[in-house]
């Protein structure tokens, strides 16, 4: 009886050891996969969802975008969690007109997305809704907004909007202004500090940007927005607006700055 008991005990111990070994191997594999995925998001590409209308008509509420995290240089994975990111290559300065995702300077737990208008050393001012950089107005010509309005979020359709085909740096894109809003018609001339950027939303009169809270430090920039990989708007149940569920398959795969009727 003792030999059988000892044999059973040995088999049970061996089985338990194999189970533990298998568990640790699986745990290591899962941990490695998680680390690789997080490292990929930290260094290469990361998806974001657009929650507000500050970048309309370029980006709509409910657009899911892909952000190029190495657009301005390769970073050491996870270095941004311990302070300023450490760059392996670069860093390279954003170009005027780039659409960037960055940490909101007044609350770094939040991510914002805007367009770069002013580079370090530039002077930026707004006069009667016209943006001036270094004393020159940004190129902008009136644009027929009928096609844009078809995709427009309901909350903006009843405003007196005017659309423009603008050129910011090498980027050709659309902007819109609310002609009845006089509060953001002007902004005093400012000089962009070294290592900082002046950013604005393409939905000029519905954007909280550098006109309100100041400049974006370079080390707060996460990357450059590349494309829309999905687009779906789901109304909030507590919203007072009469909005419908909206799925926009025609926006899937479109590059940033692409817009109906706009040829770059």
| pLDDT tens sequence for the chain (264 residues) | 444 455 555 556 566 676 667 666 667 667 766 655 555 555 567 899 999 999 999 999 999 999 999 999 888 877 777 778 888 888 999 999 999 999 999 999 999 999 999 999 999 999 999 999 999 999 999 998 888 888 887 788 889 999 999 999 999 999 999 999 888 899 999 999 999 999 999 999 999 999 999 999 999 999 999 999 999 987 655 444 445 678 899 999 999 987 665 654
Residue 159 and residue 150: Cα distance in Å, rounded? 14
Q: Is residue 260 part of a domain?
A: no
Same structural domain, 120 and 196: yes
Cα–Cα nearest to 64, from 28, 89, 101: 101
Q: Is residue 122 part of a domain?
A: yes
3-state secondary structure 149-203: HHHCCHHHCCCCEEEEEEEECCEEEEEEEECCCCCCCCEEEEECCCCEEEEECCE
Look at strands 123-127 and 111-118 and give their pairing: unpaired
| pLDDT, position 85 | 84
Residue 199 and residue 96: Cα distance in Å, rounded? 9
Same structural domain, 190 and 211: yes
Number of residues that this document lists for the chain: 264
Compute the Cα dihedral for 143, 147, 153, 159 and give only its sign. positive
Q: Is residue 28 part of a domain?
A: yes
CA atoms within 13 A on the CB side of 218: 19
Same structural domain, 123 and 168: yes
Same structural domain, 38 and 122: no
| pLDDT, position 79 | 74
| pLDDT, position 264 | 47
- Cβ atoms < 10 Å from Cβ of 222: 23
- The answer to whether the beta carbons of residues 65 and 225 sit under 8 Å apart is yes
Residue 147 and residue 163: Cα distance in Å, rounded? 11
pTM over 0.85: no
Query: What phi-psi label fits residue 69: left (phi over 0), alpha (psi between -120 and 50 degrees) or beta?
Result: alpha
Same structural domain, 183 and 136: yes
Same structural domain, 245 and 158: yes
CATH number for the domain spanning 90: value is: 2.10.109.10
Q: Which of 69, 75, 103, 114 is catalytic?
A: 114
Can you give the residue range of the structural domain that contains 130? 46-251
Sequence-ordered list of residues with C-beta below 8 angstroms from that of 120, at least 6 positions apart, any chain: 93, 192, 193, 194, 195, 196, 197
Q: Is residue 98 part of a domain?
A: yes
Q: Is residue 155 part of a domain?
A: yes
Running DSSP on this structure, what letter comes out for residue 254? P
Q: Is 2 a catalytic residue?
A: no
Q: Which of 54, 207, 210, 231 is catalytic?
A: 54
Same structural domain, 20 and 63: no
| pLDDT, position 1 | 43
Q: Is residue 263 part of a domain?
A: no
The structural domain count of the chain equals: 2
Same structural domain, 11 and 80: no
| pLDDT, position 82 | 72
Q: Is 157 a catalytic residue?
A: no
Same structural domain, 72 and 91: yes
Q: Is residue 173 part of a domain?
A: yes
Query: In this structure, what token pair is assigned to residue 10?
Result: 């040995």
Same structural domain, 201 and 113: yes
Same structural domain, 224 and 165: yes
Same structural domain, 54 and 26: no
* 18 φ, ψ (degrees, to nearest 5): -65, -40
Q: Is residue 171 part of a domain?
A: yes
| pLDDT, position 222 | 93
* 156 φ, ψ (degrees, to nearest 5): -105, -10
| pLDDT, position 174 | 95
């Amino acid at each position: 009886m003792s030999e059988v008991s000892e044999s059973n005990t040995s088999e049970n111990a061996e089985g338990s050891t194999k189970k533990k070994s298998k568990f640790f191997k699986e745990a290591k594999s899962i941990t490695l996969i998680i680390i690789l995925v997080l490292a990929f998001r930290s260094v290469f590409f990361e998806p974001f969802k657009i929650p507000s209308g500050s970048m309309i008509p370029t980006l709509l509420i409910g657009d899911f975008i892909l952000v190029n995290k190495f657009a301005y240089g390769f970073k050491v994975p996870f270095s941004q969690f311990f302070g300023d990111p450490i760059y392996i290559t670069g860093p390279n300065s954003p170009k005027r007109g780039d659409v960037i995702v960055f940490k909101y300077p007044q609350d770094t737990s939040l991510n914002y997305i805007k367009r770069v208008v002013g580079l370090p050393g530039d002077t930026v001012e707004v006069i009667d809704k016209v943006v001036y950089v270094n004393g020159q107005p940004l190129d902008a010509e009136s644009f027929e907004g009928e096609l844009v309005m078809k995709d427009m979020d309901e909350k903006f359709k009843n405003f007196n909007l005017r659309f423009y085909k603008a050129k910011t740096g090498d980027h050709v894109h659309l902007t819109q202004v609310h002609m009845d809003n006089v509060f953001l018609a002007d902004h005093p001339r400012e000089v962009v500090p070294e290592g900082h950027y002046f950013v604005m939303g393409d939905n000029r009169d519905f954007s909280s940007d550098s006109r309100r809270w100041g400049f974006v430090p370079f080390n707060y920039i996460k990357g450059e927005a590349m494309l829309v990989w999905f687009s779906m708007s789901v109304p909030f149940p507590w919203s007072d607006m009469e909005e419908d569920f909206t799925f926009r398959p025609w926006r899937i795969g479109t590059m940033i700055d692409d817009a109906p009727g706009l040829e770059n």
